[in-house]
């Protein structure tokens, strides 16, 4: 059957060639008419966009366009592509493209604790009563109010226990005059009024744990601060958080990695290359053989920096579904000096509220993500006071994991977070990485071509201290050049490792391994780098050109059936899961391969199909490879595009939860 192709959505923009007219008056009139027509069309488009994007002002859209004009040095040379190299072409995408505008909106503001504010607050070393809040608790006589606090700490989990074990002190220390100096790391505050408990709250502090202070003039130990915002594509970051974007680029001089391509499906499998330099399957061969084993035997970046005298911090909010916790066992021994995740898990269970699908959005009267950033600020400030070099890795999930538009609610908070750090002089000798792991992985936008690309292209911004830019100009020039090359989480790992020996930035490499899957971003990434050489499977690769294919095409149908068969093969041996059946093919694309593959004599085709299965109406996206007219494999993994909720509650394997529909659900109908 002949394939029927629709026009590709992203086609290189070919500059028009104009002939010079001899009659200049006629030419001038043509130009004048052209510009008048363009202006009228522009006005019409503006008002169309205004009506369709009621929630976004024209100023926001214009500011984004001006920013894009600034970062793309030679738009003509890029021909409509954000990355345009010999090995990779990634199309430029408009955050407000017509294909995705319907999914963009301003969400309702979060309401924490029914708008009842916290009764206590904290600074670096103390807790104190917030007197204006008394009226919200109907406290008319503060002499009747008594408050105390208990310290608590992490205990090593045993057996199959989750990594959230905490032990509380038996005594509750009275808070005299409604303020107290705290020497503990974690505390629980309770208050009674007229013999009844009316308040419960939790606070985290950063007590000194190391004595590795350095001379403030010693710049060879730059701090490392990595702040993650889960499930936000580069394009959606532009769309949702323009204030933070503007501050990073214009005030901090951040370099945006425009071609940063994820290498696997979800958070865990994309952050393992960053933290360990390995794929998950490689970890299974060395230090983490299965899901029941804890991660203590694996080496992560914080171990390398700890060996160099750095204080180390790792934390995340919504920790029950955290990087090392979701259907996994976490750590036995505490992995870093300051370990926030168990605290997050315990406190969100205790006073979390305004839960929206997966995560509690509030911790008492505070937003969860805001509380997490306040803790990071405490870490950075404490390390600066103690002249202690630090490696801090913090991942925020609650704001952005579940919904495309929620990041806009945190724009001002993240903007203020970075602004305070800079204004207070806390990051002058700090490498700052602000990043995500992937774009939104489900929802209606994922069934568009742009949504598919966005999901594979998370945002990454890198800020380096001024002295590194000055002393190692070639390395910094490479970083900027690489912002327009295909890059991966493995490259970010190598880049962070380079700060263990900063002086190495000034050393020329005698030879460059052009077949390597990872490069420091301070070395030039080859322009002919392909997804294949970067070890990005075709399913996740955004470099390949593709076209729409008719869903009734025989090859598409065969690809869809192959994908369903693949999922059923993965579920074989799990009797609790029902066999899946193809229900519908929603869309399909044919991916082109490089001339290099053709020269090898390989007749390769990759079909990316979006399908729906029964039972459960799961929507999946799979890339199926055809070699010499034979369907041979699913590349990468099969992506789940809609939420599965409790459909897979009978499955404990975190990979297979995406596919499993529990047999017990059929028996309930």
The per-residue pLDDT for 644 is: 82
| Main-chain dihedrals φ then ψ at residue 536, nearest 5 degrees | -105, 120
- Helix segments in 424-570, DSSP class H: 449-456, 466-471, 473-482, 489-497, 554-570
Q: What CATH architecture does domain 546-667 belong to?
A: Roll (3.10)
pLDDT at 35 over 60: no
The CA distance from 336 to 393, in Å, is: 10
Integer distance in angstroms from the first to the last C-alpha of the chain? Answer: 42
Using CA atoms, how far apart are residues 184 and 171, in angstroms rounded to an integer?
14
Cα 326–Cα 332–Cα 334 angle in degrees, nearest 5 = 100
Please state, for a pLDDT cut of 90, what percent of the chain lies above it: 76
- For the residues 150-164, what does the mean pLDDT come to? 96
Give residue-wise pLDDT tens across range 225-253: 999 999 999 999 999 999 999 999 999 99
Q: Summarize the confidence of residues 197-207 as an average pLDDT.
A: 98
The rounded percent of the chain whose pLDDT value lies above 70 is 84
pLDDT digits (tens, 9 = 90+) for 394-439: 999 999 999 999 999 999 999 999 999 999 999 999 999 999 999 9
Given a cut of 90, is residue 576 above it in pLDDT? yes
So what's the pLDDT on residue 511?
A: 58
Print the SS3 string covering 144-180. Answer: HEEEEEEEEEECCCCCCCCCCCEEECCCCEECHHHEE
The arithmetic mean of pLDDT across residues 157-182, rounded, is 96
The residue with tokens 């020269």 is: 599
**Coil, strand or helix at 396:** strand
CB 423 within 8 A of CB 237: no
Cβ neighbours for 423, distance < 8 A, ≥ 6 positions apart: none
**Calpha distance 371→177 (Å, rounded):** 25
Q: Report pLDDT digits (tens) over 643-652.
A: 888 899 999 8
Give me the mean pLDDT over the 271-275 stretch. 98
CA 634 to chain centre: 25
CATH of the domain spanning 113-204: 2.60.40
Residue 489's pLDDT is what?
Answer: 98
CA angle 207, 208, 212 (to 5 degrees): 160
Confidence of residue 570 (pLDDT cuts 50, 70, 90): very high
Domain range 227-506, CATH class: alpha beta
**Residue of 47 and 305 predicted with greater confidence:** 305
Which of these ranges, 47-51, 134-138, 323-327, has the smallest mean pLDDT?
47-51
pLDDT at 459 over 90: yes
Q: How many CB atoms lie within 10 A of CB 101?
A: 15
Q: Can you give the pLDDT at residue 629?
A: 84
Q: Which tokens belong to 168?
A: 């509380």
- Rounded CA gap, 505 and 501, in Å? 8
In this predicted structure, what is the pLDDT of residue 218?
A: 60
DSSP assigned state of 219: T
| Cβ proximity of 419 and 443 under 8 Å | no
Measured between alpha carbons, how far is 56 from 59 in angstroms, rounded to an integer? 8
Sign of the dihedral defined by the CA atoms of residues 126, 130, 131, 134, in that order: negative
* pLDDT at position 54 over 60: no
What SS3 class is residue 467? helix
Residue found by looking up tokens 């008002």 in the block: 47
pTM for this model (two decimals): 0.84
Q: What is the pLDDT of residues 477-494, one digit of tens each?
A: 999 999 999 999 999 999
Position 591 scores a pLDDT of: 86
Please report the pLDDT score of residue 36 as a whole number: 54
**CA–CA gap between residue 223 and residue 427 (Å, rounded):** 8
More confident residue, 213 or 617: 617
Residue 84 to residue 299: CA distance in whole angstroms? 36
Least-confidence region, from 230-234, 464-468, 595-599, 661-665: 595-599
Q: pLDDT (tens digit, 9 = 90+) per residue, 75-134?
A: 445 567 899 999 999 999 999 999 999 999 999 999 999 999 999 999 999 999 999 999
The number of beta carbons lying within 10 Å of the beta carbon of residue 76 is 9
The verdict on whether omega for the bond into residue 174 sits within 30 degrees of 0, i.e. cis, is no
**So where are the chain's domains?**
32-103, 113-204, 227-506, 546-667
Question: Do 113-204 and 227-506 agree at the fold level?
Answer: no
Q: Return the percent helix, strand and coil in the chain, to nearest 5.
A: 35, 20, 45
pLDDT class for 510, splitting at 50, 70, 90?
Answer: low
Number of helical H runs and strand E runs in the chain: 18, 25
* Strand partners for 604: 627
> Angle, nearest 10°, between helix axes 411-423 and 368-385?
10
């Amino acid at each position: 059957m002949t394939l029927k192709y629709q026009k590709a959505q992203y086609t290189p923009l070919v500059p028009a060639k104009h002939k010079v007219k001899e009659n200049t008056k006629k030419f001038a009139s043509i130009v004048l008419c052209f510009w008048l027509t363009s202006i009228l069309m522009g006005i019409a488009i503006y008002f169309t966009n205004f009506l369709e994007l009621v929630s976004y002002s024209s100023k926001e859209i214009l500011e984004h366009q001006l920013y894009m004009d600034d970062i793309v040095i030679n738009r003509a040379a890029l021909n409509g592509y954000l990355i345009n190299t010999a090995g990779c072409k990634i199309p430029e995408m408009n955050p407000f493209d017509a294909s995705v505008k319907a999914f963009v909106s301003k969400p309702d503001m979060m309401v924490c604790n029914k708008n009842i504010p916290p009764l206590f607050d904290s600074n670096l070393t103390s807790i104190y009563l917030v007197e204006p809040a008394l009226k919200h608790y109907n406290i008319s006589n503060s002499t009747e109010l008594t408050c105390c606090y208990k310290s608590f700490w992490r205990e090593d989990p045993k057996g199959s226990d989750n990594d959230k074990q905490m032990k509380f002190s038996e005594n509750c220390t009275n808070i005299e005059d409604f303020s107290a100096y705290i020497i503990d790391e974690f505390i629980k505050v309770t208050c009674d009024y007229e013999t009844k408990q009316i308040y419960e709250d939790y606070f985290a502090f950063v007590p000194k744990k190391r004595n590795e202070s350095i001379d403030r003039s010693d710049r060879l130990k730059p701090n490392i601060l990595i702040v993650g915002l889960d499930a936000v594509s580069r394009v959606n970051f532009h769309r949702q958080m323009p204030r933070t974007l503007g501050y990073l680029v214009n005030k901090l001089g951040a370099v945006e990695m425009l071609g940063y391509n994820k290498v696997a499906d979800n958070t865990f499998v994309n952050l393992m290359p960053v933290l360990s330099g390995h794929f998950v399957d490689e970890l299974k061969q060395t230090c983490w053989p299965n899901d029941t084993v804890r991660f203590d035997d694996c080496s992560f970046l914080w171990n390398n920096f700890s060996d160099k005298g750095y204080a180390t911090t790792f934390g995340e909010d919504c920790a029950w579904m955290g990087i090392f916790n979701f259907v996994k066992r976490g750590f036995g021994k505490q992995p870093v000096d300051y370990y926030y995740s168990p605290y997050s898990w315990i406190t969100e269970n205790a006073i979390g509220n305004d839960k929206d699908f997966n995560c509690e959005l509030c911790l008492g009267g505070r937003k969860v993500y805001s509380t997490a950033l306040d803790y990071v600020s405490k870490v950075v400030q404490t390390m600066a006071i103690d002249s202690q070099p630090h490696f801090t890795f913090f991942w925020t999930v609650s704001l952005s994991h579940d919904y495309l538009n929620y990041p806009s609610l945190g724009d001002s908070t993240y903007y203020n977070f970075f602004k305070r750090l800079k204004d207070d002089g806390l990051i002058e000798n700090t490498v700052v990485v602000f990043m995500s792991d992937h774009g939104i992985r489900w929802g209606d936008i994922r069934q568009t071509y742009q949504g598919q690309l966005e999901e594979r292209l998370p945002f990454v911004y890198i800020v380096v201290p001024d002295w590194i830019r000055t002393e190692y100009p070639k390395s910094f020039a490479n970083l900027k050049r690489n912002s327009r090359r295909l890059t991966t989480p493995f490259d970010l790992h190598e880049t962070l490792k380079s700060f263990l020996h900063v002086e190495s930035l000034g050393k020329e490499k005698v030879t460059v391994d052009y077949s390597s899957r990872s490069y420091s971003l301070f070395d030039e990434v080859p322009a002919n780098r392909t997804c294949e050489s970067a070890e990005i499977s075709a399913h996740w690769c955004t470099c390949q050109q593709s076209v729409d294919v008719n869903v009734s095409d025989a090859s598409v149908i065969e690809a869809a059936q192959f994908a369903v068969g693949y999922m059923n093969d993965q579920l074989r041996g799990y009797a609790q899961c029902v066999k899946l059946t193809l229900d519908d093919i929603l869309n399909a694309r044919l991916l082109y391969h490089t001339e290099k593959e053709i020269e090898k004599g390989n007749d390769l085709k990759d079909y990316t199909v979006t399908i729906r299965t029964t039972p459960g109406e799961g929507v999946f996206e799979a890339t199926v490879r055809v070699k010499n007219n034979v369907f041979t494999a699913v590349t990468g993994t099969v992506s789940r595009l809609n939420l599965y909720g409790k459909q897979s509650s009978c499955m404990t394997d975190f990979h297979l939860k995406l596919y499993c529909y529990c047999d017990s659900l059929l028996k309930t109908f």
